[in-house]
Chain A
Amino acid sequence: MKEQLEAIRAVAKDVLQSATSLQELDAARVKYLGKKGELTAILKQMGRLSAEERPVIGQLANEIRADLEARIDESMEQIKARMLEEKLKAETIDVTMPSDAKALGHKHPLSIVLDEVKDIFYGMGFSVASGPEVEWDYYNFEALNIPKNHPARDTQDTFYITENMLLRTQTSPCQIRVMEQQKPPIRVIAPGRVYRSDAVDATHSPIFHQIEGLVVDKGITMADLKGNLESFAKSLYGEETKIRLRPHHFPFTEPSCEIDVSCFACGGKGCPMCKGEGWIEILGGGMVHPKVLKNCGVDPDVYSGFAFGIGLERLVMFRFNIDDMRLLYENDVRFLKQF
């Protein structure tokens, strides 16, 4: 009997070793270890053994059963692992093939820079206001200390609707509207479209964008204007940026200035971007003219303020090195998707 058992073990071992599928292993399990299997058949004959032999054979039979079961389990694991490996291999794809993700849309470059500017000013505690593009002469000119027949009107060729209604030539009327609606302290920017009758070319457009800024409070000085706009310039162009104020004239600010930033391409050494100057003009501003404050019902003996205006197109063109303003309004998708 012992020989029979060992023979089964030997045969089964071979069978198991050569098995290549789960079905074969199942068949082997049935054949050797099943209720009607060979090992069971032999164990059924245990009654014929002597009392001394029985435990020995019994122990051997159990040992063989455990051995075969372990071998079957092990082979099963191996086959499963191999099968999984084959399956995964069969599922291989070319991961470099193009995806079918939907392309994202793009922000217009004007919006990219405007959003950046807005974020900087939000961070400095400014709100964002707006005003009508079709505006009264009063708001666009008269309240801003530019009476009828003032020569300054000539530099802003105006589109008129009626004698008193026009397309605003600047965002400065927003200053008046804000001050009429809100008591100081005031800290706002007002971005928007403005209109001047300039024919379209690489650097001119009859429609462009300005960002107006206005701060009114007790004790506001030109030092605040400088500090505030320097912070803005540093946020926009980096910590190394410097600003330079040049005296200028705007009818609605006094003193007035134009403000240059140190060239962000060369750092101020002079390069083609800044035409060798080292400085690039980006905005105009000044202390709000006392007449303007008075026009809006703000007492210039109590309050003072500063205002500034930024040309958005100019910022955008410098930022992305765009040399033709027309591209901004042509909206060719090959242009738009670069941003």
Chain B
Amino acid sequence: MNTSKKWLLDFVDLDCTDKAFADGMTLSGSKVEAFAVEGSELSNIVTGRIESLERHPDSDHMWICMVNVGANEDLQIVTGAQNLSVGDVVPVALDNSVVHGGKQIKKGKLRGVESCGMLCSLGELGLTTHDFPYAIEDGIFVLGEDCDRTLGLDIREAIGLNDTVTEFEITSNRPDCLSILGLAREAAATFGKDLKIREPKVHFSGKDVHDFLSVNILAPERCYRYCGAVVENVRVKPSPRWMRERLRACGVRPINNIVDITNYVMLEYGQPMHAFDLRYLKGGSVIVRLAKQGESITTLDGIERALSEEMLVIADEEKPVAVAGVMGGEYSGIMDDTNTIVFESACFNGPTTRLTAKALGMRTESSGRFEKELDPASCMPAILRALELVELLDAGDVINGIIDCDKSTHERRTLPFDPDWVNNFIGIDVSADEQKKILEAIDFEVKDGLIYIPTFRADIEHQADVSEEIARFYGYQNIPNRPLSGVANAKRTPAQKLETLISATLRACGLSEIATFSFISPKHYDKMRLLADSPKRNSVVISNPLGEDTSVMRTTVIPSMLDVLARNYNNRNEAAALFELSNEYIPNGADKLPDENEMVTLGLYGEDVDYFTLKGVAEAVFTACGVTGYDIEPLTDDPTFHPGRTAVVTIDGKQIAILGEVHPLVLKNYDIGVKAYVGQIDFNLLLEYGDTDRKYTALPRFPATSRDLAFVCGIDIPVLKIEKLITEAVGKILESIKLFDVYIGPPILPGLKSVAFSIKMRAADRTLTDEEADAAMKRAIKALDKIGISLRS
């Protein structure tokens, strides 16, 4: 909401600087986004009168003017404009002046003739013909009677381009502040001034409004009040300068006196107004009703719009003539031959207006106000003000009477006046008297232990709301700062501790953390080669996405990681080692929220990286989390991964991780030109099976015994399988088992490999004998022999 200072001054005497005004208003709740003095970029431009005009001797279009700027001597100025006559008063940019756009004007010569400045057009003052309809676009601005034509006067003062425009951010609960009057009330309370409200005075012309107009509200729950008035013999012309000036300051373009009056009243009272041409109101009747099935309306902007049965319209006897509170129909506007108009000042229900505007895709200044719920009580003063302005501007003859179809109660809501409650809630100590004064300053009435809330404050429903009023005028800055006291029991949950631990572990492994969007394009499921019937293709779908790229909630974080790897590869980064702790989203139907599963996603590429780098990282996470007893098996049929270089890690039969080299076709789909490795670990299983509770065991007192064993087995046998059999066979004296050699080639027969383990054994209570160690080895050899794996001879 932009406001004009001159306009505000009609209602409240402000004597502070613009800056102090802005700060004060911000701190009392009307946030000032910006303020600026109009025309502040102009300098050294004054009014001057053309005393003589002569043709330039060396030009067929230029004129040499002598201009009186109120100084002892007239100035000689050369101009190319053709609209000047002797006696015209015009803006004169003197030597060393600045016009609109920051352009500097200096003394100079034009075709050999000295020119001591420049005569200005509207554009050079930053104005248009909307601001001065009698001026022309491409010529010098000749000041009319509505300007102060004192010679030598600063042009901004002469034409009223010196208002301060303040831009407020008004929150949705305060539609009353979308008006000069509302902000003047806030300003008066903020700066301790009186609010000067005056009743509009209308003289009326004698005929009876009822002979022209009838009003019927058929949907009273959606239209609380409708006031209608009639003006005949309308004289459409530009409105006076002061009105144009104020509209401009508030960011509204002046059109003509009637349109300007409706806008002026809306800005002043916050009450949207509408003007109909009576010719197009069949039977002179206004009917406020819901639209009928199949009805449509062509709105002022020339677009035909289909209406639905939930939409409220203003209709005559036959057809809708306006979408209530949103926009008028095409014939309802003011035309050059308009003779008689109807002013509408009505109050429509917020949600109805909001839904209608939304459904029709046309949010207007008017609908934006109605949807915040306006005060029915302001309909009457607003229409009176409009009629007063009609008479003031001599824009027509006001027919006697106003039709007021009023379904509203006018009852003021009350709340108990409870100063102690307010003090206790805010943590202040403000006396009952002081609180009463604050409330009265914003037109609340305090009487007999009750607060009577003005009808324009629909937002005040509870003591907490009253407290805010007290607090903001008492000053938030005056509320004491009290640090929290009392004991609170704050602990990190096991999950939170584990997240910290995993992040630290992965960073120690050289992986950096990333953050990716949770929604992706469903095309990723093709790019990562998910099978057509994969359940992972079933995503939570956003019904109104920004675009296809962000239209489904990911069911796996892997495509997000692949995207980041691809971006880094594309940015020519030689290597990347990344992780993310984030969610996948698995749908549960319309009646249950999706499962949000936290995943640890790993991604690597680079010269020194291979599958085992990735496996090492995952093992570091398992170790850090205290996850033991997991199984690793080759995974050959996941289409995202290399069939020979991928493993699935399980614990208790549940998949805790998948680790692998990305399938070359997937790499191609993501335009990654090097091998890349991606893994995913299920955070919830880490939490379930992890154990970070460390326990001390005594250091060994007896020596260990080591044996090396080499076996020959099929080339496809996973070494882990052999390791497990040995572990089981050796039993509890096993301290560690380590693979130290895998060999393929002669003398080992083709299709076979030799695998060698170093086995360390120890007993806690004695020195192991050679016999015990040998027996253990025999058990291991026997166990392996059973499945056809023989000791290498």
- Seen from chain A, the residues whose Cβ lies within 8 Å of a Cβ on chain B are 102-108, 110-111, 121-122, 124-128, 132-136, 148-152, 154-155, 159-162, 165, 167, 185, 187, 193, 195, 197, 199, 206-207, 215, 217, 219, 221-224, 226-228, 230-231, 244-249, 251, 254-258, 287, 289-291, 304, 328-334, 336-337
Nearest to A245 among chain B residues (CB) is B476
- List 11 other contacts, CB 8 Å, given A125-B488, A245-B476: A105-B579, A106-B513, A125-B490, A149-B351, A159-B545, A165-B593, A224-B482, A230-B481, A290-B462, A329-B515, A334-B573
Interchain CB contact under 8 A, B481 and A227: yes
CB-CB nearest 3 A-B residue pairs: A223-B427, A221-B427, A125-B488
Interchain CB contact under 8 A, A222 and B479: yes
Task: List residues of chain A with CB within 8 A of the CB of B545.
Answer: 159, 197
- List B residues 433-470 near A (Cβ within 8 Å): 462-465, 467-468
Interchain CB contact under 8 A, B510 and A336: no
B166 at the interface (CB under 8 A from A): no
Interchain CB contact under 8 A, A206 and B464: no
Query: How many residues of B sit at the interface, in one of the four size bands?
Result: 35 or more
Query: In whole angstroms, what is the CA distance A161 to B545 when docked?
Result: 9
Contacting residue for B511 out of A105, A257, A258, CB 8 A: A105
Contacting residue for A224 out of B484, B492, B542, CB 8 A: B484
Contacting residue for B516 out of A154, A251, A329, CB 8 A: A329
Also in contact, A249 and B173, with CB within 8 A (given A149-B355, A223-B427, A332-B573): yes
Min CB distance, A225 to chain B, in Å? 9
9 residue pairs of the A-B complex, CB under 8 angstroms, read: A105-B511, A125-B484, A125-B487, A127-B491, A150-B172, A206-B550, A246-B31, A246-B476, A331-B578
- List B residues 467-518 near A (Cβ within 8 Å): 467-468, 471-472, 476-477, 479-484, 486-493, 496, 503, 506-518
Task: List residues of chain A with CB within 8 A of the CB of B428.
Answer: 222-223
Also in contact, A247 and B573, with CB within 8 A (given A161-B543, A227-B483, A329-B515): no
Task: List residues of chain B with CB within 8 A of the CB of A230.
Answer: 481, 483
Query: In whole angstroms, what is the CA distance A222 to B544 when docked?
Result: 39
Min CB distance, A183 to chain B, in Å? 13
B275 at the interface (CB under 8 A from A): no
Query: In whole angstroms, what is the CA distance A155 to B368 when docked?
Result: 12
Query: In whole angstroms, what is the CA distance A258 to B491 when docked?
Result: 29
Query: In whole angstroms, what is the CA distance A176 to B324 when docked?
Result: 37
B372 at the interface (CB under 8 A from A): yes
Also in contact, A223 and B426, with CB within 8 A (given A107-B507, A255-B464): yes
Nearest to B505 among chain A residues (CB) is A105
Nearest to A258 among chain B residues (CB) is B31
B371 at the interface (CB under 8 A from A): yes
Task: List residues of chain A with CB within 8 A of the CB of B235.
Answer: none
Interchain CB contact under 8 A, A247 and B507: no
Interchain CB contact under 8 A, B464 and A290: yes
Interchain CB contact under 8 A, B476 and A257: yes
Contacting residue for B594 out of A110, A127, A134, A251, CB 8 A: A134
Query: In whole angstroms, what is the CA distance A41 to B577 when docked?
Result: 78
Interchain CB contact under 8 A, A332 and B568: yes
Nearest to B585 among chain A residues (CB) is A134
Interchain CB contact under 8 A, B350 and A199: no
B28 at the interface (CB under 8 A from A): yes
Task: List residues of chain A with CB within 8 A of the CB of B541.
Answer: 161
Also in contact, A246 and B471, with CB within 8 A (given A155-B172, A185-B486, A226-B482): no
Interchain CB contact under 8 A, A106 and B512: yes
Min CB distance, B256 to chain A, in Å? 32
Contacting residue for A330 out of B462, B467, B472, B567, CB 8 A: B567
B777 at the interface (CB under 8 A from A): no
Contacting residue for A254 out of B29, B464, B510, CB 8 A: B464
Nearest to A255 among chain B residues (CB) is B468
Also in contact, A128 and B511, with CB within 8 A (given A134-B553, A151-B354, A290-B462): no
Interchain CB contact under 8 A, A128 and B492: yes
B590 at the interface (CB under 8 A from A): yes
Query: In whole angstroms, what is the CA distance A273 to B281 when docked?
Result: 58
Min CB distance, B488 to chain A, in Å? 3
Min CB distance, B676 to chain A, in Å? 14
Task: List residues of chain B with CB within 8 A of the CB of A221.
Answer: 424-427, 482
Nearest to B373 among chain A residues (CB) is A151
Min CB distance, A174 to chain B, in Å? 14
Task: List residues of chain B with CB within 8 A of the CB of A185.
Answer: 486, 488
Min CB distance, B774 to chain A, in Å? 41
Contacting residue for B508 out of A105, A108, A249, A332, CB 8 A: A105
B84 at the interface (CB under 8 A from A): no
Interchain CB contact under 8 A, A104 and B573: no
Query: In whole angstroms, what is the CA distance A28 to B296 when docked?
Result: 126
Per-residue A-contact encoding for B581-602, CB less than 8 Å = 1, 0 else: 0010100001001101000000
Query: In whole angstroms, what is the CA distance A161 to B428 when docked?
Result: 45
Nearest to B578 among chain A residues (CB) is A331
B692 at the interface (CB under 8 A from A): no
- List B residues 293-331 near A (Cβ within 8 Å): none
Task: List residues of chain A with CB within 8 A of the CB of B482.
Answer: 221, 223-224, 226-227
Task: List residues of chain A with CB within 8 A of the CB of B576.
Answer: 333
Min CB distance, B516 to chain A, in Å? 7
Query: In whole angstroms, what is the CA distance A118 to B516 when docked?
Result: 21
B378 at the interface (CB under 8 A from A): no
Contacting residue for B464 out of A150, A247, A289, CB 8 A: A289
Interchain CB contact under 8 A, B462 and A255: no
Query: In whole angstroms, what is the CA distance A289 to B467 when docked?
Result: 11
Task: List residues of chain A with CB within 8 A of the CB of B546.
Answer: 197, 199, 206
Query: In whole angstroms, what is the CA distance A333 to B604 when docked?
Result: 12
